[in-house]
């Protein structure tokens, strides 16, 4: 069987990554990757540039996206979409709604942070080319201003993980709705980093896997086509459990680094092994 060096989960400056799509494609080519996917949050703005770079370098680049969703029970899930038509009218309308929801969330979140004593605003965020502001960028700004030692601490219980900040939420689509939109745009919906799913038991416990299995089973009926079995947050044992679920429900098995950095060479350890 042929083996390919792949990474199906990469972020660029079109959302909360630090590298341009062209920089990602060039480095991936240098590192010997066969196929990569650009999967920015809630937008497709980096795909055209990535496609041009891929064609120029004879590198296969799959159009992708990552969408934050919830189940009917309120469980948060991230869905990846691949090989869809970025110009699909229904998809574009759906994403416009996501952008508006994020903007409203950010406005409220900055207000809450100010009330908590953190002097931070939209002006402090180093945004990409489409003015995307996500929590990772806000965390980075908190570190830069000296309110936290690192991003992990910024996401901790004292700041972004505090009850005050956690109450500020953007309106998310249901997982079923996101799956339907991706399918109608001709794409393939895949559940991202299942180990990150909260509210269903301690990650890696039998209770967690039982609940995850039920969620995946329901998503399969709604049109889910794949499962991200290999991700930096998932160890070998966890990956194998997810491979088993993918096989049980006849889902594609995917692998991704979830890269957000500047130099894609740093993703090599987790993107492929």
What's the pLDDT tens digit per position in 239-253?
999 999 999 999 999
Does the pLDDT of residue 159 top 90, yes or no?
yes
Does the pLDDT of residue 45 top 60, yes or no?
yes
What backbone phi and psi angles, to 5 degrees, belong to 49? -65, -40
CB 254 within 8 A of CB 221: no
For the chain, what is the mean pLDDT? 93
Strand pairing category for 188-191 and 76-82: antiparallel
Does the pLDDT of residue 99 top 50, yes or no?
yes
pLDDT of amino acid 271: 46
Give the range among 78-87, 100-109, 223-232 with minimum mean pLDDT. Answer: 100-109
Give the range among 16-20, 65-69, 126-130, 142-146 with minimum mean pLDDT. Answer: 126-130
How far is Cα 202 from Cα 154, in angstroms, rounded to an integer?
23
Residue 110 falls in which region: left (phi positive, over 0), alpha (psi -120 to 50) or beta:
alpha
Give the range among 28-37, 45-54, 165-174, 210-219 with minimum mean pLDDT. Answer: 165-174
How far is Cα 176 from Cα 84, in angstroms, rounded to an integer?
17
User: What residues does 70 pair with on adjacent strands?
Assistant: 76, 174
pLDDT of amino acid 71: 95
More confident residue, 93 or 271: 93
Does the pLDDT of residue 1 top 70, yes or no?
no
User: In which element (H, E) is residue 250 found?
Assistant: none
Q: Which two tokens stand for residue 130?
A: 């489409």
pLDDT (tens digit, 9 = 90+) per residue, 162-221?
Answer: 999 999 988 899 999 999 999 999 999 999 999 999 999 999 999 999 999 999 999 999
The sign one gets for the Cα dihedral 242, 215, 176, 15 is negative
More confident residue, 232 or 126: 232
CB 226 within 8 A of CB 188: yes
DSSP state of 83: S
Sheet of 60-70, strand order: 6-10, 35-38, 60-70, 76-82, 188-191, 226-230, 252-255
CB 116 within 8 A of CB 109: no
Does the pLDDT of residue 106 top 60, yes or no?
yes
pLDDT of amino acid 273: 38
pLDDT of amino acid 253: 97
pLDDT of amino acid 4: 86
Range list of β-strands (E), 45-141:
60-70, 76-82
How far is Cα 38 from Cα 202, in angstroms, rounded to an integer?
30
CB 34 within 8 A of CB 7: no
pLDDT (tens digit, 9 = 90+) per residue, 107-147?
Answer: 999 999 999 999 999 899 877 666 788 888 899 999 999 99
């Amino acid at each position: 069987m042929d083996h390919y060096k792949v990474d199906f989960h990469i972020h660029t400056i079109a959302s909360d990554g630090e590298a341009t799509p062209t920089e990602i494609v060039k480095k991936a080519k240098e590192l010997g990757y066969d196929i990569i996917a650009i999967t920015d949050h809630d937008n497709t703005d980096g795909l055209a540039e990535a496609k041009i770079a891929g064609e120029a370098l004879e590198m296969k680049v799959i159009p992708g996206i990552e969408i934050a969703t919830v189940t009917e029970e309120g469980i948060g899930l991230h869905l990846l979409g691949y090989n869809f038509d970025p110009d699909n009218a229904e998809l574009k309308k759906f994403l416009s709604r996501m952008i508006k929801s994020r903007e409203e969330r950010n406005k409220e979140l900055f207000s809450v942070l100010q009330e908590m004593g953190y002097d931070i605003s939209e002006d402090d965020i180093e945004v990409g080319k489409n003015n995307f502001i996500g929590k990772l960028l806000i965390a980075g700004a908190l570190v830069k201003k000296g309110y936290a030692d690192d991003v992990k601490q910024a996401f901790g219980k004292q700041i972004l993980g505090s009850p005050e900040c956690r109450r500020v939420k953007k309106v998310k689509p249901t997982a079923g709705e996101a799956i339907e939109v991706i399918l109608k745009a001709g794409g393939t919906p895949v559940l991202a980093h299942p180990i990150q799913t909260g509210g269903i038991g301690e990650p890696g416990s039998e209770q967690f896997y039982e609940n995850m299995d039920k969620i995946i089973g329901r998503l399969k009926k709604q049109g889910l086509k794949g499962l991200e079995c290999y991700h930096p947050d998932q160890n070998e044992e966890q990956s194998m459990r997810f491979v088993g679920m993918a096989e049980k429900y006849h889902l594609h098995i995917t692998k991704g680094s979830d890269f957000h950095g500047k130099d894609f060479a740093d993703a090599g350890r987790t993107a492929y092994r």
